[in-house]
Amino acid sequence: MATRQLGRGVVIQSLYEWDFYGRKEKIEDVIERNLEEFAPGFSEKEFVLELATGVVGKIDELDKIIEASAPQWPIDKLPIIDRNALRIGLYELLHADRKEVPPRVAINEAIELAKTYGGHNSGKFINGVMGTVYREIGEPDRNPETSRTGKE
């Protein structure tokens, strides 16, 4: 498994735990514990911490995007894995450095998280929502000059 893929796995497990227990613990503490348990000696700890704290810092914005892109699924009714796979994917799609995480990589990684940790239809659902948002922001890796995010 690629290093960042393993890191995203730790992030989704940590966000799941954090979300499941009502967001009572600091995400940094959950990440630290899960890195030690699931990925001892992991070399990209900073990537994991930045991704998790980035998602948590933008959670209200990300949840509004999810609700707008999948209005038939209120955020609190989504399976915890699905909503956190979407949060991770959307955070990377909208806020990550595109040289490090191109838009299609952000989408694909979110789908893979959903397939690995979610239910039978999670991958399809994540693909649909992420594809909708990707088109909404102007398909940045296909049409960089018309992208609406300004993160080229």
Nearest of 37, 46, 14 to residue 27 by alpha carbon: 14
Q: One-letter amino acid identity for 39? A: A
* Angle 59-87-136 from CA coordinates, rounded to 5°: 100
Q: Output the tens digit of pLDDT for each of the chain's 152 residues.
A: 488 999 999 999 999 999 999 999 999 999 999 999 988 999 999 999 999 999 999 999 999 999 999 999 999 999 999 999 999 999 999 999 999 999 999 999 999 999 999 999 999 999 999 999 999 999 887 765 555 554 44
Q: pTM, whole model, 2 decimals?
A: 0.91
User: What pLDDT, on a 0 to 100 scale, did the predictor assign at position 151?
Assistant: 46
Q: Which two tokens stand for residue 91?
A: 């955070």
User: What pLDDT, on a 0 to 100 scale, did the predictor assign at position 34?
Assistant: 96
User: What pLDDT, on a 0 to 100 scale, did the predictor assign at position 139?
Assistant: 86
Q: Whole-angstrom distance between the N-terminal and C-terminal Cα of the chain?
A: 28
